[in-house]
Amino acid sequence: MADKEKTFEESMARLEEIVRILEKNEKPLDETIALFEEGLKLVRTCDARLKSFETKIEEITAADHEEE
Amino acid sequence: MSQRAVSVSALVHYVKQKLEGDPLIQRVLVEGEISNFSNYRSGHWYFSLKDGAAQIRCVMFASANSRVKFLPKDGDKVLVQADLNVYEARGEMQLIVTAMQAAGLGELYRQYEELKKKLETEGLFAPEHKKPLPPYPFSIGLITGKNTAARSDVLTTLQRRWPVAAITEYPVLVQGTESAGQIVQALKKADESGHDVLLLVRGGGSIEDLWSFNDETLARTIYALNTPLITGVGHETDFTIADFAADLRAPTPTGAAERCAPDIRDVLSRIDQFHVRLRGAVSARMSAERRHIDAIRRYSWFADPQRLVRDPQLRLNDLAIRLDDEIRAVRQMQDGRLRQLMGNLQKALRERMRDTENTLHENRQAVLYALNLRLTRENDRLQKNIHLLDAYSPLKVIARGYSIVLKNGTAVRRADMVQKGDEVELLLGRGKAAAVITDTDMEAEHG
């Protein structure tokens, strides 16, 4: 499930691509609307990803690995 | 002397250019003994470096000597990193010292240089081997000393710039004999954990302090990593072997944290910009489409929207009518054709029947005619035969006195047909008589 989702990097790249395509204004209207919707969705997910965070700090001691 | 004289300043300037342009004596490492050391109020250090045969004047400015961990004194054997400089006003050359270590370290430097050269030749520092850094790391592995300033520098910087990342810490000893081994283990473990990027950092220190970062095994481990690694070891001027092997060398721990992740505010504003451009592009497109529609609406049947409904309806009706006509025409065509076929068939039948009747009639006439003919002919023959019969009737002959002799019913026409003693029957003009042959004579003539 998770690997079906785009990574943040891919989302940003796709978003940029969509903006570029739309600014060229060469696509048919249907496609433009579809791209716009996709773009808005990406804006929302990227934004949400950055705004709903909490810094997680985990400590792994390399010296402990013999205990396993 | 035909040679042209040059000015002193030209000569000194030439020498300056020559010496300072020589890369061999820039950033050079020099080992020697300190003499005439003076520490001015300005903070700059002035001294000479000498060995058994020569000496050279040196200056180390406050900005550089603040990093030296000890205050040198005359007689100290030191190793300095320096640039050769010619002071034109006095026509003197001197060393501008940028770093200084106690001279026992000369051996360490040699090892360092040897290892560096060896690994460089092997391609461990090759730029083409450097892995690209992820633009948005969400998982960061931090390899550093526990409770060190470097650690808190990195965490503070990341918290400020990129708080969305999950940071996994791998605490290690960052100096001492066990340090390099621990760093190697930690790197391997972190590499297996699938982080987006790894940070290996340590604060400033003396060359001995940083020595574990000049470890060959560590360099090879770094080279073999699958995860991109950023190092930030010591200060700006410190270059360790680990730094060379890493995918990116940052001058300090804070620098490493800055280079490892973008500033979240930049990314958010970039998303906002995308949002604005997205809406802008689409609303421009939509208003263009709207203008287009308006223009079209002004034309033709858009002025009379009823036509939109009516026209198809009319066309449908028209089509239905035409379809009906068509069907009827086809049906009529079929009807006519059928009738014609039936007519033809009936006609053909009638003709055939008439023909047959005619033939029959003709045949009958012929038969009747032939029959009549035959009848007449037979009748004639009968009449003739009756006459003949009448004329030639033996009965008529018998009536005239002739008799017929029958032997066993067969008329006896010759004498040899009977023998003496044969009983015969005599047919007379009236009635019959029986007789017995008494004699026969074949030769007797009839009288």
Average pLDDT over residues A16-22: 90
Who has greater pLDDT, B59 or B332? B59
Is A1 touching B (CB cutoff 8 A)? no
Residue B66 is predicted with a pLDDT of 87
Are B274 and A39 a contacting pair at CB < 8 A?
Answer: yes
Written in H, E and C, the secondary structure of B278-321 is: HHHHHHHHHHHHHHHHHHHHHCHHHHCCHHHHHHHHHHHHHHHH
User: Is B135:A13 a contact under the CB 8 Å cutoff?
Assistant: no
Of B101, B145, B124, B178, give the one whose Cα is nearest residue B253.
B145
Domain ranges of chain A: 2-52
For A45, name the nearest residue in chain B, comparing CA atoms only. B271
Run of H or E including B30? strand B28-39
Of B136, B274, B289, the CB nearest to A19: B274
Residue B363 CA to residue B371 CA, distance in Å, equals 12
Give the best residue of B138, B168, B277 to mutate against chain A (max A CB count within 10 A). Answer: B277
Are A50 and B170 a contacting pair at CB < 8 A?
Answer: no
Q: Is B137 exposed, middle or buried (0-12, 13-18, 19+ CB in 10 A)?
A: buried
Residue B190 CA to residue B17 CA, distance in Å, equals 50
* Residues of chain B with C-beta less than 8 angstroms from the C-beta of A15: 271, 274, 278
Who has greater pLDDT, B184 or A62? B184
Residue B241 CA to residue B122 CA, distance in Å, equals 13
Tokens of B26: 């820039």
Q: Cβ neighbours of residue B66 under 8 Å, at least 6 residues apart? A: B43
Residue B119 is predicted with a pLDDT of 94
Q: Is the pLDDT of residue B79 over 80?
A: yes
Length of chain A: 68
Is A66 touching B (CB cutoff 8 A)? no
Q: Cβ neighbours of residue B365 under 8 Å, at least 6 residues apart? A: none
Average confidence score pLDDT of chain A: 77
Provide the edge-to-edge strand list for the sheet that holds B166-171.
Answer: A56-59, B166-171, B139-144, B197-202, B229-233, B248-250
Three-state secondary structure call for residue B58? strand
For A62, name the nearest residue in chain B, comparing CA atoms only. B186
pLDDT band at B392 (very low <50, low <70, confident <90, very high): low
- Name residue B404's beta-bridge partners: B427
Over the stretch B298-354, which tens digit does the pLDDT of each residue have? 765 556 666 656 666 666 676 677 767 777 777 776 677 777 777 777 777 787 778
Are B172 and A50 a contacting pair at CB < 8 A?
Answer: no
pLDDT band at B391 (very low <50, low <70, confident <90, very high): low
B229-233 and B248-250 strand pairing:
parallel
Q: Cβ neighbours of residue A43 under 8 Å, at least 6 residues apart? A: A15, B271, B274, B275, B278
Who has greater pLDDT, B338 or B50? B50
Over the stretch B161-208, which tens digit does the pLDDT of each residue have? 998 899 999 999 998 889 999 999 999 999 999 999 999 999 988 777
Average confidence score pLDDT of chain B: 85
* Residues of chain A with C-beta less than 8 angstroms from the C-beta of B164: 49-50, 53, 55
String of DSSP letters for A5-37: SPPHHHHHHHHHHHHHHHHHT-S-HHHHHHHHH
Q: Is the dihedral of CA B290, B293, B298, B304 positive or negative?
A: negative
Q: Is the pLDDT of residue B52 over 70?
A: yes
User: Is B124:B223 a contact under the CB 8 Å cutoff?
Assistant: yes
When mean pLDDT is compared across B11-15, B267-271, B325-329, B422-426, the lowest value belongs to B325-329
Q: Is the pLDDT of residue A64 over 50?
A: no
Q: Is the pLDDT of residue A4 over 70?
A: no
User: Is B60:B44 a contact under the CB 8 Å cutoff?
Assistant: yes
CA dihedral B207, B210, B212, B216 (to 10 degrees): -70
Single-letter amino acid, residue B333: M
* Residues of chain B with C-beta less than 8 angstroms from the C-beta of A40: 275, 278
Give the distance from residue A45's alpha carbon to the nearest chain B alpha carbon, in angstroms: 10
Q: What percent of chain B has pLDDT over 70?
A: 89
B104-109 contact pairs (CB < 8 A, 24+): B104/B77, B105/B79, B105/B207, B105/B208, B106/B31, B106/B79, B108/B207, B108/B208, B108/B211, B109/B29, B109/B79, B109/B207
Residue B421 CA to residue B404 CA, distance in Å, equals 18
Residue A63 is predicted with a pLDDT of 47
Q: Cβ neighbours of residue B256 under 8 Å, at least 6 residues apart? A: B154, B199, B200, B201, B230, B231, B232, B250
Tokens of B82: 């320096």
Q: What percent of chain B has pLDDT over 90?
A: 40
* Residues of chain B with C-beta less than 8 angstroms from the C-beta of A51: 268
Tokens 């048919």 locate to A28
Give the distance from residue A55's alpha carbon to the nearest chain B alpha carbon, in angstroms: 6
* Residues of chain A with C-beta less than 8 angstroms from the C-beta of B136: 8-9, 12
Are B275 and A61 a contacting pair at CB < 8 A?
Answer: no
State the Rg of chain B over Cα. Answer: 74
pLDDT band at A58 (very low <50, low <70, confident <90, very high): low
Residue B119 CA to residue B216 CA, distance in Å, equals 8
User: Is B199:B143 a contact under the CB 8 Å cutoff?
Assistant: yes
* Residues of chain B with C-beta less than 8 angstroms from the C-beta of A26: none
Tokens 């960061």 locate to B140
Total-model pTM: 0.51
Q: Is the dihedral of CA A23, B132, B153, B168 positive or negative?
A: positive
Q: Cβ neighbours of residue B223 under 8 Å, at least 6 residues apart? A: B124, B129, B245
When mean pLDDT is compared across B245-259, B297-311, B369-383, the lowest value belongs to B297-311
